[in-house]
Amino acid sequence: MLKRFLPDEHVNSVFEINIDQLVEKGIKGIITDLDNTLVEWDRPEATPELKEWFQKIQAKGISVTIVSNNNEDRVKKFSDPLGIAFIHSARKPLGSAFKKAKQNMNLKSDEVVVIGDQLLTDVLGGNSQNLHTILVVPVVQTDGVFTKFNRFIERKILSYMKKRGMIYWEE
């Protein structure tokens, strides 16, 4: 059961993800969370550094879909200027949004990675769909009300996994 919460990789930020290694692994699509994964949960648009990161990914032929539990207005305002596909109100960790993103990109599970900052939504949802998962450290340490509860549970799970030698990174 705990393995469903265990990401395949852990990085400090999306900028540490080696895009060339993804291509070597046959990755053709990225499903990424938005809030506290790409930008702060209250930042309306992408930073210049993030725009450059997206350009590098797309130049390598990798498709990107933002899958967020946030509302349409929030996700659309962020995604549209970048020309990036998105799914809002995703209800992660339920699998339907992950399946839809994969179908929209016309990709198989072994061609997709999921990037997110939460074990209970992004990692659990991606792992449940047999997708490669990458956990990133949240961009900021402040969260909305629902996410604060998730973070509390997440800390308990991480502590348990750390005690059992299942994880090797620092929190």
Say if 97 falls within a structural domain.
yes
Say if 93 falls within a structural domain.
yes
Say if 52 falls within a structural domain.
yes
The torsion of the CA quartet 59, 62, 68, 72, rounded to 10 degrees, works out to 60
Say if 168 falls within a structural domain.
no
pLDDT for res 68: 97
Give the span between the Cα atoms of 33 and 144, in whole angstroms.
Answer: 15
Say if 17 falls within a structural domain.
yes
Judge if the upstream peptide bond of residue 138 is cis by omega within 30 degrees of 0. Answer: no
Say if 84 falls within a structural domain.
yes
The values of phi and psi at residue 38, to 5°, are: -95, -45
Number of domains in the chain: 1
Say if 170 falls within a structural domain.
no
CATH number of the domain residue 115 falls in: 3.40.50.1000
41, 144 Cβ separation under 8 angstroms? yes
Digit-coded pLDDT (tens) for 18-71: 999 999 999 999 999 999 999 998 899 999 999 999 999 999 999 999 999 999
DSSP 8-state assignment for residue 156: H
pLDDT for res 169: 62
Say if 102 falls within a structural domain.
yes
**pLDDT band, residue 142 (cuts 50/70/90):** low
Burial annotation 59-77 (CB, 10 A radius, 16+ → b, else e):
eeebbbbbbbbbeeebbee
**pLDDT band, residue 163 (cuts 50/70/90):** confident
Digit-coded pLDDT (tens) for 60-102: 999 999 999 999 999 999 999 999 999 999 999 999 999 999 9
Note down the domain range covering 35: 2-163
pLDDT for res 1: 64
Contacts of 17 (CB under 8 A, 6+ apart): 9, 11, 115, 134
